[in-house]
Amino acid sequence: MALKTSGVRSRMDVGKDGGKGTGPKGKILLFNREKGRRIRNAKDIHSALVKEFGAENVYDRVWTPEMVPIPQAMDFMRGVSIMVTPHGANIGNTAFMLPGSALLEVQPQKCASQGKMRAYEFTSSVLGLSHQMISARDGLMCAGVDGAGIFVEPEKVRVEDEGCRV
């Protein structure tokens, strides 16, 4: 279940100092929801991230919005180099990520194939973040109101631009 790492350039590669090796690199965050549009197999994805990138480069658990109170969100998100999360309001937290970080946005298969929800691709660009959309294996409802969540194959959690050396 190895993850592909030839991907989105982020602070995992260069650090905050532009590649001189002195700045903090940040960590990978798997940010999920408890209901609705959530990743059903988030624990499997988290385990695969830890296996591929090392525990020191991945936050210690699958995080939910309830775990990051709004007053602390700004500081917390500045420590995130790559955020993996389902499409939705969680992505608003990218406003607090440092430029050079990356967003891996998971969308239900039907929505991803139709290219309907591209707003975060554009906001990522404005914020100086790399963006990669990941299509889940299932999910017919863009709104995710059925509560069943979506399933993502761990090998899809990858980044695809040249030059990534996470």
| Per-residue model confidence as pLDDT tens digits over 8-60 | 455 555 444 444 433 456 899 999 988 777 888 899 999 989 988 889 999 99
The Cα-based distances of 87 to 23, 26, 164, 166 in angstroms read: 30, 22, 23, 23
User: What's the token pair of residue 135?
Assistant: 């299509």
Rg for the chain, CA atoms, rounded: 15
CA diameter of the chain: 47
β-pairing verdict for 80-86 and 102-107 = parallel
Mean pLDDT of 117-126: 87
- Please give the residue that has the higher pLDDT: either 86 or 113: 86
Which pLDDT score, from 0 to 100, does residue 160 have? 43
- Please give the residue that has the higher pLDDT: either 138 or 69: 69
Assign 117 a pLDDT band (cuts: 50, 70, 90): confident
Please answer whether residues 127 and 155 qualify as being in contact, where contact means their C-beta atoms are separated by less than 8 angstroms: no
Which residue type occupies 30?
A: L
Please give the model's pTM, rounded to 2 decimal places. Answer: 0.76
Which pLDDT score, from 0 to 100, does residue 136 have? 79
- Taking 50 as the threshold, does the pLDDT of residue 99 lie above it? yes
* pLDDT tens sequence across 66-83: 898 888 888 999 999 999
